[in-house]
Amino acid sequence: MEELFSDEYFMQKALQEAEIAYEKDEIPVGAIVVCNNKIIAKSHNLTETLTDVTAHAEMQAITAAANYLGGKYLKECTLYVTLEPCVMCAGALYWSQISRVVIGAADEKRGFKSKMLQLHPKTEIVEGVLANEGKKLLLDFFQQKR
């Protein structure tokens, strides 16, 4: 019988990706995509490394998951992301038709919800999973920058 993991377990894996970003001096956001209880993609912000404003953790994870599955739709997949996706990432998630998005910390200034946007109507959204851990990583990062 296949063991089922919790949202907290998978968000912890996304937080590990955020920590990798932190170590690379990237804004510490991590994302993973899970399908059938298996991690099929993982990533973190790479905007500085790739000098690409679109290289957000979610965009990298969406691309990797689509490549793994051999198709552009992420139906029956869940994205775990340590920070609420921005408008660009929300658009990509919408078009991917991902089934579920689990968000750690809210982004009141740049998150898609602050812009009154929604994901695909069939996408379930879960918020606040290990939010404090993700928020602390971001606060530590930006405090170090100042």
Placement of tokens 């790479």 in the chain: 46
CA distance 116 to 60: 24
| Other beta carbons within 10 Å of 137 | 23
Contacts of 4 (CB under 8 A, 6+ apart): 37
For helices 7-23 and 57-69, give the axis angle rounded to 10 degrees. 120
**Strand spans (E) along 5-76:** 30-35, 38-44
Render pLDDT for 46-56 as a digit per residue (tens, 0 to 9): 999 999 999 99
CB 68 within 8 A of CB 92: no
Q: How confident is the model at residue 3 (pLDDT cuts 50, 70, 90)?
A: low
Question: d(Cα 22, Cα 3) in Å, to the nearest integer?
Answer: 31
Q: Can you give the pLDDT at residue 2?
A: 46
> pTM for the complete prediction?
0.95
**Among 3, 58, 84, 133, the one annotated catalytic:** 58
Percent of the chain with pLDDT over 70: 97
Active site residue 124: no
Q: What is the mean pLDDT of residues 126-133?
A: 97
The sign one gets for the Cα dihedral 9, 108, 73, 67 is negative
Task: Check: CB of residue 83 under 8 Å from CB of residue 107.
Answer: yes
pLDDT tens for 17-33 read: 999 999 999 999 999 99
| SS3 state at 130 | coil
